Structure 1
Amino acid sequence: MTNKPQQQVKANKTPYSLQRRLLLNTSIVLVFFIVAMSFVLLDSYKTGIRQATFERLYAQFYSLLSYADELEPGDLFLPEEIPSDKRFNQYNSGLSALVYDETESLIWKSLSARYDQEQHKVPLPLSLPGEGTLAEITMDDTDYFRFHYIAEWESPEGAISLYHFVILENKRPFDQVISAYRNQLWFWLSIMALSLLAILFVVMRWTLRPIRRAVKELRQIEKGLLSTLSDQYPQELQRLTENINRFIQNERHQSKRYKETLGNLAHSLKTPLAVMNTALQNKSNDAEELSSICSEQIGRMDQIVAYQLQRATSGPQVMMRSMEVEPALDKLATSLTKVYQDKNISIEVDVSKGLMIALNEGDFYEVFGNVLDNACKWTESKVRVKAQRVAGKVQITVEDNGPGIPENVRLAILSRGKRLDETVEGQGIGMSVVTEIVAAYNGEIDIDSSELGGALMRLSF
């Protein structure tokens, strides 16, 4: 009971549109990029400011060194006031200097230094003489930059003394600059991100416009307002729209084929039904002969139904499996003789010995059943069928001694629904089916005048 509502909720959940997906994904990527870029820019700015601080304090060290003088080894003199930068002479100015001897004992400090050496001893790093270092330290809850340099001093007697020069600068101005830069950076990056999102929204709307147009056209096709999608689409969508159009055309063609197949089925069943009807009306036929005729024609009808169903679903089947021509033509001739026995028609069949044709059996009976039926329908008394191999092709000719077919309508009768004489029974279907099947096998149909005086139909495969 509990699973069904959950499944229904999942089924009713509307999936995100492409535009929403792109905007969401782009926003995530953009936010990640903005955050990463802000950290990179901030770190680069901090590094630049720190390097500038190091160089400035290095210069301050050299100014102090210029005022220093060694009275004797281990006894370095510096004036109480340093003229180069007045901040050294102002108490708690934020910039102070200290000098230690090689035993790390304080021997001088500037007037600005407010440190109690006993309570707040400045930690000295391990470094080599002649190597300046910059570090951040915290003293008395205040952060400082500490510049440290070990200077070697050689007396006239050649004695070398080491002195630790330390310059401390309050880190608060540095932090204030970084904070102001960070605020400005986030402000402008946020504006940039919002602007980029707005531009991306406009660009995606324009980029996805062909897809929206395709959806609109599909809805119009569903309503019957359009027949196919237009061909004015970007290159990336052309293959898709062409396939959709092809699918629509195939569906319509399939629907048309179903309708035509019903007509073809009715048309094909006429001959076996006529044979059985003639046999039933012929009182000279005994029960055994009547049963044989009906059994044969019912089997033929079953084949016709199976064949037409196959054509309805898959079209003409071009099966390159050869069949023998003579027995098939003899069977057709026998059936049609019974159908048109009241006309006392003579059907002459002349087939080259052992002639084979590469046609599906159902297609063969459909084609030549229609052609022979038309010949019997229009002939006065005689139909002649000749099958032979000519120049590598199987050529089957059907002639009659009827009125013939005028030259100006020979092409027209091959179209569906076209009939030569509206007074003669028929639906105008048979020859269109013949044309379709022959075309599927890349065959040819020629209509001419017969030596017998009527029409001549020549089919080549």
Structure 2
Amino acid sequence: MAEKSESKSSVDKSHYSLQRRLLLNTSAVLVFFIAAMSFVLLDSYKAGIRQATFERLYAQFYSLLSYAEEIEAGDLFIPEEIPSDKRFNQYNSGLSALVYDETESLIWKSLSARYDQEQHKVPLPLSLPGEGTLAEITMEETEYFRFHYIAEWESPEGAVSLYHFVILENKRPFNQVISAYRNQLWFWLSIMALSLLVILFAVMRWTLRPIRRAVKELRQIEKGLLNTLSDRYPQELQTLTESINRFIQNERHQSKRYKETLGNLAHSLKTPLAVMHTALQNKSHDAEELSNICSEQISRMDQIVAYQLQRATSGPQVMMRSMEVEPAMQKITTSLSKVYHEKRLTIDVDIAEGLSVALDEGDFYEVFGNVLDNACKWTKTKVRIRGERVNGMVVISVEDDGPGIPEKVRLAILSRGKRLDETVEGQGIGMSVVKEIVAAYQGQIDIDKSKLGGALMKLSFK
């Protein structure tokens, strides 16, 4: 069960679309970027407000300092009310000031200060005289900005006294501003993120449209509505679509080759089967002669099957090894004489002595077996075969005294399935096979009128 579950899980994962993956990955990157950007913007905004607060409280310190006057060393006088900012004079206004001597004892506080110094003493930082600092502290569950400055005061007698000036400002307005800014920031960043996602989705749809078109065309090819993928694809997909087209063409070519090979095999087996059938019907043959004929034809059939299987997987084999023409031609004519013995044909073979041709043996039997079979089928009484070398070419001609081939259909009969007379038995395969094999050897076929009155088939090979 666990293996099935894992297998199903892996199958489900493999069905994620490329568009979905891109959208999910882009969304993750976008969320990270938006979060990082919001953190940076918010932190920068906080830093800006803190700096503005520091400068404002620094100004408040100088304002407070302007009202201070030292009566004697260690005895600093500051009016109870500070005219510069009325908040110093209003209880619990959120802005207050305190002054400590160098022993950190409170010597003055503004009217706005509401702190119980016995219970909640304001912590003073360690700092140098003349150095202003800003920090955040919490007292009585309330957050404050604390500005601290140590002022050096020199009396007329030359005595120097230190005074701690502390200004406290309630942090609530700061927090409210930050909260409002954060809400606005997240609102607009969310709008931007959604807008970017919509734009990215549209861009990805447009970018991946060629892939969707390729999938659609492949489905049409499966249904037989298209033959190949179109060539209107981006450069990045051109190599892929061209490879797919070549694959489709090769598959169709291979399928066509297998289909044709089956037809060729059936066509090629007709002659040896006919020879055996004729031999079995001929009462004059004794058992030994009949056995020899059948054995010879079965061996021939085995060669034909092997040859056709070879052609189905690799096409016509153009092997440039010469073979003698006359012995091979005699085998073909002997077999055909037995097939057409009722016509009492005269087959005249005139092959130049030692003539050889650069053909594979199987291809030779396939070519001239078909040509001579047609000649014997259409002739009346006589078939003539001649072989000679002319201008460096091996020329083998086959003539008969039959009705001949009209000039207007001479090229048509070389096409697969085309027959000169539909009333005569045959499949229209033989001559198309002849044309294919001769073309593979860069040979030539000429069809003309024979001096015997019938057809002349002239085949030339280098």
- Separation of aligned partners in 2, 1:49 and 1:437: 91
RMSD, aligned CA: 3.8
- Flag structure 1 segments of 5+ consecutive residues without an equivalent: none
* Conservation of the 8 A alpha-carbon contact between 2:150 and 2:165: yes
- Separation of aligned partners in 2, 1:6 and 1:13: 10
- Separation of aligned partners in 2, 1:219 and 1:150: 84
Query: One-letter code of the match for 1:446?
Result: I
- 2:138 maps to 138
| Residues 165, 358 of structure 1: alpha-carbon distance in 2 compared, 3 angstrom cutoff | farther
| Residues 55, 229 of structure 1: alpha-carbon distance in 2 compared, 3 angstrom cutoff | farther
| Residues 382, 61 of structure 1: alpha-carbon distance in 2 compared, 3 angstrom cutoff | same
What is the TM-score of this pair, normalised by structure 2?
0.81
Query: One-letter code of the match for 2:444?
Result: I
- 1:191 maps to 191
In the TM superposition, residue 137 of structure 1 has moved relative to its aligned partner by 0.6
Of stretches 267-276 and 400-409 in structure 1, the one that deviates more from structure 2 is 400-409
| Residues 61, 422 of structure 1: alpha-carbon distance in 2 compared, 3 angstrom cutoff | same
- 1:437 maps to 437
Q: Secondary structure at the match of 1:39?
A: helix
Query: One-letter code of the match for 2:387?
Result: V
| Residues 381, 204 of structure 1: alpha-carbon distance in 2 compared, 3 angstrom cutoff | closer
Query: One-letter code of the match for 1:460?
Result: F
* Conservation of the 8 A alpha-carbon contact between 2:151 and 2:163: yes
Q: Secondary structure at the match of 2:352?
A: strand
* Conservation of the 8 A alpha-carbon contact between 2:446 and 2:459: yes
- 2:163 maps to 163
In the TM superposition, residue 103 of structure 1 has moved relative to its aligned partner by 3.2
Of stretches 447-456 and 412-421 in structure 1, the one that deviates more from structure 2 is 447-456
Q: Secondary structure at the match of 1:345?
A: strand
- Separation of aligned partners in 2, 1:164 and 1:287: 138
Of stretches 252-261 and 8-17 in structure 1, the one that deviates more from structure 2 is 8-17
- Separation of aligned partners in 2, 1:460 and 1:79: 128
* Conservation of the 8 A alpha-carbon contact between 1:375 and 1:398: no
In the TM superposition, residue 183 of structure 1 has moved relative to its aligned partner by 2.1
The within-5 A match list for 1:336-375 is 336-340=336-340, 342-350=344-352, 352=354, 355=356, 357=358, 359=360, 361-375=361-375
- Flag structure 2 segments of 5+ consecutive residues without an equivalent: none
The within-5 A match list for 1:26-425 is 26-155=26-155, 160-209=160-209, 211=211, 226-228=225-227, 231=230, 234-235=233-234, 236=236, 247-280=247-280, 285-312=285-312, 314=313, 316-318=315-317, 320=319, 322=321, 324-326=323-325, 328-340=328-340, 342-350=344-352, 352=354, 355=356, 357=358, 359=360, 361-377=361-377, 380-386=382-388, 390=392, 395-400=394-399, 402=401, 405-422=405-422, 425=425
What is the TM-score of this pair, normalised by structure 1?
0.81
In the TM superposition, residue 172 of structure 1 has moved relative to its aligned partner by 0.6
Of stretches 362-371 and 396-405 in structure 1, the one that deviates more from structure 2 is 396-405
Query: One-letter code of the match for 1:363?
Result: D
In the TM superposition, residue 328 of structure 1 has moved relative to its aligned partner by 4.3
Identity of aligned residues (%): 73
Query: One-letter code of the match for 2:178?
Result: I
Of stretches 12-21 and 164-173 in structure 1, the one that deviates more from structure 2 is 12-21
Of stretches 127-136 and 176-185 in structure 1, the one that deviates more from structure 2 is 127-136
- Separation of aligned partners in 2, 1:144 and 1:62: 20
Q: Deviations over 1:241-283 (max 9, x none)?
A: 5555555555554554444333222211122223334444556
In the TM superposition, residue 368 of structure 1 has moved relative to its aligned partner by 3.2
Query: One-letter code of the match for 1:433?
Result: V
